[in-house]
Amino acid sequence: MKPVRMNIVGRNGNAFGLLGAFAKNARQQGWTEQAIAAVQDEAMKGNYDHVLKTLISYTIPPEPE
Give domain status of residue 65, yes or no.
no
Q: What is the pLDDT of residue 3?
A: 97
Give domain status of residue 52, yes or no.
yes
Residue 26 pLDDT exceeds 80: yes
8-state DSSP, 8: -
**In this structure, what are the phi and psi dihedrals at residue 55, rounded to the nearest 5 degrees?**
-65, -40
The pTM assigned to this predicted structure is 0.90
Domain that holds residue 8: 4-60
Total structural domains within the chain: 1
Residue 65 pLDDT exceeds 80: no
The pLDDT confidence band at residue 9, using thresholds 50, 70 and 90, is confident
Write the DSSP assignment of 25-45 as a string of letters: HHHHTT--HHHHHHHHHHHTT
Give domain status of residue 38, yes or no.
yes
Q: How far apart are the C-alpha atoms of 64 and 43, rounded to whole Å?
A: 27
Residue pLDDT, tens place only, 34-59: 999 999 999 999 999 999 999 999 99
Q: How far apart are the C-alpha atoms of 17 and 26, rounded to whole Å?
A: 14
Q: How far apart are the C-alpha atoms of 33 and 8, rounded to whole Å?
A: 20
